[in-house]
Structure formats: C-alpha cells, structure tokens
Amino acid sequence: MAITYENSEATFSAVIYEDEVVSFRDFLQAKAPEEIKLNFVECDDIHLAVIQLIMAYKKNYVCTYTFGENKKLFQTVLEGFDTSENHCS
C-alpha cells in the first residue's frame, strides 16, 4: 500500500492511486473528529479523489501536513485550500 496508517497519522509514499480512496476514507471516518497528521515526505503524486477527501476533512476538523523538500503540485493545492471559502457542510 502506498498509504500506511499508525494511530492518527497517515504516511503517503510513491504515487497514490484511485484504489487507495476507500481505505483512506475509512481511516478519516474512524478518526473524525480527531486531529490527524498527514506525512507527504516520500509522496510523488496523489489522485484527485484523495486530495478531495483531505480537503473535506480539513473543512470540518484539524489536520496537519508534513511535506518533503521538493514542492509538488498537490502541496500547492493543499496549502492553498482556504476552508473559509468552501461552503460545503
């Protein structure tokens, strides 16, 4: 698996494909409303569906990110997500 889970932290490695969506969703549902940590240090790319789950969780709960040295596109998207501009509930 490209996503591993330990307590309230998910570690992403290599490329995260669509087949990881359901297990990641289950992790988020099990952890809500806890603060979670998402580690992207070894991640190269993430499927959009996984990014959407992250943004939905961040809209309602606290999550923190750890990124690697080389900035990736998904990092720009996640850091630029402003929960005050998202009107979903």
The answer to whether the beta carbons of residues 69 and 42 sit under 8 Å apart is no
Structure confidence at residue 86 (pLDDT): 54
Structure confidence at residue 38 (pLDDT): 98
Rounded Cα–Cα distance for residues 8 and 36 (Å)? 5
Structure confidence at residue 85 (pLDDT): 65
Structure confidence at residue 16 (pLDDT): 97
In this prediction the pTM is 0.89
The full set of domains in the chain, from first to last, is: 3-84 (3.30.750)
Structure confidence at residue 51 (pLDDT): 96
Average pLDDT by stretches of 10, the chain with 89 residues: 94 97 98 97 97 94 96 93 64
Structure confidence at residue 89 (pLDDT): 44
